[in-house]
Chains A and B, each alone.
Chain A
Amino acid sequence: MSELLSMAITATLILYTVAMGIALARLFGGPSAQDRVLAMDFIYVVGMLVMLVLAIRYDSEMYFEGALLMVLFGFVGSVAMAKFLLRGEVI
């Protein structure tokens, strides 16, 4: 791996971390419950992107399955929380 790609990966991970920090501020200080669910969903998506970038960084295909699982669990969690907000029960 060249110097350029390594530096670009570091910069990208720093940008992702800043974005997750901003979303975390929305998660803790959001005015309503649906804001918190939205920020949680966004943090899941950015975490999935972090897994894909780490797959390039460590040159391993194993992170791909982790990213796929993260998409699925983020979807299930967000839909469960939204249904809870809608009806007061999950199913």
Chain B
Amino acid sequence: MPSVMPPLSEILVAVLLLGSGVVVLVAALGLRRLPDFFLRMHAPALASTLAAWIVSLASIVHFSARGASLALHVWLIIIVLSITAPITTIVLARAALFRRRQAGDHPLPAPLRRRS
């Protein structure tokens, strides 16, 4: 039992880091357990959006509390990740769709119908 309370920023950073660990574990379990590839594509997005946001927020809180000023440079990772993650997902989904149509023996998701 610690005799002195840690500062509030360290408690906040600890809670945020543990939350990100749980989110990443949920994403990995989804990657393991979901039955189809197009369902499995949804799970890693949890790690590249929510967990990355939480960890960068924890990093901003920590370095801002250590230094004298606001340390916002970790946002650069969020910006780059939010540009690159959808591109990866769309290219990979098109590749998977193409390969399933080539193979022909797997059930494809139903095509979208235009609503009139």
Contacts and interface: CB of A to CB of B under 8 A. Distances in A.
Interface of A: 1-5, 7-9, 11-12, 14-16, 18-20, 22-23, 25-26, 32-35, 37-39, 41-42, 45-46, 48-49, 52-53, 55-56, 59, 61, 64, 67-68, 71-72, 74-75, 78-79, 82-83, 85-86
Contacts of B96: 32, 34, 85
Nearest to B73: A64
B27 A19 contact: yes
Interface string B15-50: 101101110110111011000010011011001100
B95 A83 contact: yes
B28 A23 contact: yes
Contact of B10 (A2, A11, A85): A2
Grouping DSSP codes into helix (H, G, I), strand (E, B) and loop, the A interface class, with mixed when no group exceeds half, is helix
A38 to B, nearest CB: 6
B99 A34 contact: yes
